[in-house]
Structure 1
């Protein structure tokens, strides 16, 4: 006997089929959409530092810092200063009040002011405006003979000492600022080998004991100032690789690690000073060539940036990171660990990369300004 369904039963059955099909359709469409959105966001949807000036092959992200408010600052050698607030980059140029678009050093002082060391001298940012700061130069200052910076009043390094005083390393000498007056830091030319009152220092650093260290490419070894006198410490020669290798025995003071060792760098590698003697490290040990920057992260790893990429040192072994790991330009000039533990790496060609512990993500791009008619 044939079984027939009533109109009401048929309607109910069709309604269930349509409802289930609709639900299944929504699930199939929504899941891939969410996955695609997450993938796109993690892969490429983030702001970038845009280079607008100069040849794309030249210029560096030379220096960096994170201020107390959490903003990241990046100084470049052609494109001025960039501030990153986590959402977007803001570029500042001479037109905005900078002394120069060529920036060498950055410092935030205890009053939250940001000092910008440029090719044309000092600049101060108070959170609202940029002010050019003129360091009064003595009339009898010896002429600048530094072959690296002989066309400028460049400020190569800055720091605020434990005393609260600010130290500025410039091509016109080393100056100490007490909040009111700039004083030239003069060492007798015949004492301890500190050759002249200017153009011999490029980097400065204060250790935990309050000693101040100086170093530069036109000096032999490094210099330590204990508050009374300067002592010259000699370094063993390290060789730079290349078609015409040259021995280097100068050092840039960089960082004091968690064990109290002080690290210096030069074109041949790096030195570790334990308070008694120096131990040298070069490319054969896993160091990048021509080391420019050394930082220690919160885990106690040391990071070395240079001509051939980035090296991480855990106290036992070195791990190298180069182009194959995502550093499109492996010539590193600046390294910064932010408050979240990410590493920001600045390179030649005004390159900026974020290293999250696994991947290098490009945060820079070249977009030249259109030519004006």
Structure 2
């Protein structure tokens, strides 16, 4: 009897071994084709956003979004785009169909497509593949030797579903079928004359579209019929601005190389308390779920403003770098901070965790 039981036990062990080996083989067979970035650090098992394409320390984690499924997307100016599902990073570059590894903007539209604005134009990601979308040039403009000259700096979808693209060749709208140049007084002193440059677009709660960029005099507001040019200040102290957001009180916030400005519907007020010198750039502004405003840029790290006082956090507090270009608040309230040298940190309100090399 004991000898008989030993044979049964051996048979059971052999069967379990074969099943386990079969499952392991199946897992290896079904690995995704995308490049999955896993941590190689023994003491730190967190996934890492790695600089695989470019070693240029001037590259940024330039912008970021959280999609409808909860995935985080980080667009960089040298390493393409990273998608983070909470467990690992998947990197998308030109090897995966992206038209450039230098990415300026990213947006998920109402149909869940991911639009990516790059140095070489626009790519559309439908969840499976990238498709390059060609924006036709306006009349009297010709392409240079670079493939698809459109640097696409910003992408915005308005309440009607129309997409707006701020490019190096002007502003274009897209209704789902065709691109249309957005031109007002093209040959006069108004919007989109030859010396105008649009880098950011914002729609406010009233449906007005705001435009801003360097080399402009002030900012521009479009009410659906006409353009109004508004001056940031009379001293021409960096008299251009990027529209950033409209806060819960209805104020619209702008930033430029000299700080941050609040527009209350009547006038622009420069926010004090952020200066770090003669030139004090603000590169990004967000409002968190609690109503705090966060400012970054000018090598100041990130600064939280509760309406009365500032609290700033730097590398002394654990931030990976002080030169910040993007801040994203995820659904759980964590802040994801993108910096120079493709740096990425997460801040839970108490401490920072690094997610980059």
- Do they superpose with TM above 0.5? yes
Match of 1:157 among 148, 154, 157: 154
Cα 1:255–1:330 change in 2 (3 A) is same
- Partners of 1:212 and 1:97 lie apart in 2 by 32
Which segments of 5 or more consecutive residues in structure 1 lack a partner in the other structure? 1-42, 240-246, 366-373
Q: Does 1:317 align with 2:309?
A: yes
Tell me the SS of whatever aligns to 1:95.
Answer: helix
- Partners of 1:204 and 1:196 lie apart in 2 by 17
- Partners of 2:304 and 2:51 lie apart in 1 by 28
Match of 2:16 in 1: none
How far off its partner does 1:68 sit? 0.1
Match of 2:116 in 1: 116
Tell me the SS of whatever aligns to 1:74.
Answer: strand
Q: Is this contact kept in 2: 1:94–1:100, CA < 8 A?
A: yes
Tell me the SS of whatever aligns to 1:352.
Answer: strand
Greater Cα shift, 49-58 or 73-82: 49-58
How far off its partner does 1:141 sit? 3.1
How far off its partner does 1:238 sit? 8.2
Q: Which residues in structure 2 correspond to 1:193-204 (within 5 Å)?
A: 193-196=190-193, 200-204=197-201
Greater Cα shift, 205-214 or 185-194: 185-194
Q: Is this contact kept in 2: 1:115–1:124, CA < 8 A?
A: yes
How far off its partner does 1:198 sit? 7.8
Match of 1:236 in 2: 233
- Partners of 2:235 and 2:343 lie apart in 1 by 28
Q: Is this contact kept in 2: 1:105–1:156, CA < 8 A?
A: yes
What TM-score do you get using the length of structure 2 for normalisation? 0.82
How far off its partner does 1:46 sit? 1.5
Cα 1:143–1:265 change in 2 (3 A) is farther
Q: CA RMSD in A?
A: 2.3
Match of 1:89 in 2: 89
Which segments of 5 or more consecutive residues in structure 2 lack a partner in the other structure? 1-42
* Higher Cα Rg, which structure: 1
Cα 1:143–1:130 change in 2 (3 A) is closer
Match of 1:302 among 290, 293, 297: 293
- Partners of 1:44 and 1:210 lie apart in 2 by 47
Match of 1:174 in 2: 171
Tell me the SS of whatever aligns to 2:326.
Answer: strand
Match of 1:357 among 336, 349, 355: 349
- Partners of 1:142 and 1:212 lie apart in 2 by 28
Equivalent residue pairs, number:
311
What TM-score do you get using the length of structure 1 for normalisation? 0.79
How far off its partner does 1:339 sit? 0.5
Match of 1:270 among 245, 260, 264: 260
How far off its partner does 1:172 sit? 1.3
- Partners of 1:110 and 1:328 lie apart in 2 by 34
Match of 2:280 in 1: 289
Q: Does 1:256 align with 2:239?
A: no
Match of 1:330 in 2: 322
Cα 1:197–1:169 change in 2 (3 A) is farther
- Partners of 2:56 and 2:273 lie apart in 1 by 28
- Partners of 2:143 and 2:192 lie apart in 1 by 13
Match of 1:21 in 2: none
Tell me the SS of whatever aligns to 1:223.
Answer: strand
Cα 1:139–1:285 change in 2 (3 A) is closer
- Partners of 1:279 and 1:286 lie apart in 2 by 18
How far off its partner does 1:189 sit? 3.6
Post-superposition CA distance 1:219-240 (Å, at most 9, x none)? 010000000000000012689x
Tell me the SS of whatever aligns to 2:70.
Answer: coil
